[in-house]
Amino acid sequence: MIEIQDVYKTFGENEVLKGITATFQPGKNNLIIGGSGSGKTTLLKCIVGLHEPTKGEVIFDGENFTNMNFEQRVPIRTQIGMLFQNSALFDSMTVEQNIMFPLNLFTDQSKSEKLDRANFCLERVNLTGKNKLYPSELSGGMKKRVGIARAISMQPKYLFVDEPNSGLDPVTSILIDELISELTQEYSITTVVVTHDMNSVMGIGDHIIFLHQGKKWWEGSNKEIAKTDNKELNNFVFASPFMRAAKASL
């Protein structure tokens, strides 16, 4: 379980996050949604420690992550998997080397054990046999799947995903969403997904936080989102004529 308590983040004069408090439960797809500039990615980066919150705390299973130094954070970080918006695969390494990289650094497994794990992860994301390809030889969707394979290679307790559907066609987007959801339930991972894709929200949003102007504006599930009378959330979710028509037909 991840708890964030009263998190503020300021860049110079610009206050991006204004006191956000939330709890993310294991085995659930926790979605952070909101318009561009609402602070979604900043909040994600504060949770994983890429940004230090100006004020507030991030707690991983009772351990206060915010107050830890680099060395103290390492045991928690080895339990974190993250899929970046642009996949962030290491260009100089093959798919297999990318997946084995954290295993090389943080485990004492033999080479064959690491290779087995890499093959298992690739199979899990339907990329069997792509071991020797370089990131430059992969499509956008394949890169995302390799990113997921690398993220799960260390059997993480926490999975963070930043804009998993950006730049992908609708079919691949749904496949990526389903994969994230399956892994979350299969391994009881605490998953936090930052997105503004409505298909993801409606498809896998077990627990949704809506950010607006740096504040938590609404919290609920995908079942509750259609019934809410929150004006800003309705403006965001039902911005397109298609979504408005879908809501009207409910």
Partner 1 sequence: MFHSLGKYILLLRLSFRKPEKFSVYWAEIMREMVSVGIGSLGIVAIISLFIGAVATIQTAFQLISDFIPKTVVGGITRDSTILEFSPTISALVLAGRVGSAMASQIGTMRVTEQIDALEIMGVNAPGYLISPKIIAGVTMIPLLVIVSVGLGLTGGYIACWASNDVSTNDYLRGLTDGFNPVIATVCAVKAISFGFVITSICSYQGFYVNGGSLEVGQSATRGVVWSCIMILFCDLIISRLLL
User: Which residues sit at the interface with partner 1, rule CB under 8 A?
Assistant: 48-50, 70, 73-75, 77-78, 80, 82, 84-86, 88-91, 101-102, 104-106, 154, 160
Question: 194 or 233: whose CB is closer to partner 1?
Answer: 194
CB of 85 to partner 1, least distance (A): 7
Question: 84 or 134: whose CB is closer to partner 1?
Answer: 84
CB of 214 to partner 1, least distance (A): 22
Q: What is d(CA 118, CA 149) in angstroms, rounded to the nearest whole number?
A: 8
Region for 75 from its dihedrals, namely left if φ exceeds 0, alpha if ψ lies in -120 to 50, beta otherwise = alpha
Q: Tokens 């046999």 identify what position?
A: 129
CB of 30 to partner 1, least distance (A): 17
Residue 63 CB contacts under 8 Å (≥ 6 apart), including other chains = 76
- Tell me the CA distances in angstroms from 82 to 147, 164, 250, one per residue in order: 8, 11, 36
Question: 16 or 201: whose CB is closer to partner 1?
Answer: 16
Q: Tokens 């918006």 identify what position?
A: 85
165 close to 173: Cβ distance less than 8 angstroms: yes
Question: 70 or 241: whose CB is closer to partner 1?
Answer: 70
CB of 36 to partner 1, least distance (A): 18
CB of 174 to partner 1, least distance (A): 24
Cβ neighbour number for residue 242 with a 10 Å cutoff = 10
- Tell me the CA distances in angstroms from 160 to 11, 92, 163, 229, 245, one per residue in order: 23, 24, 10, 29, 32
Question: 105 or 248: whose CB is closer to partner 1?
Answer: 105
CB of 205 to partner 1, least distance (A): 24
Q: What is d(CA 138, CA 90) in angstroms, rounded to the nearest whole number?
A: 13
Question: 77 or 130: whose CB is closer to partner 1?
Answer: 77
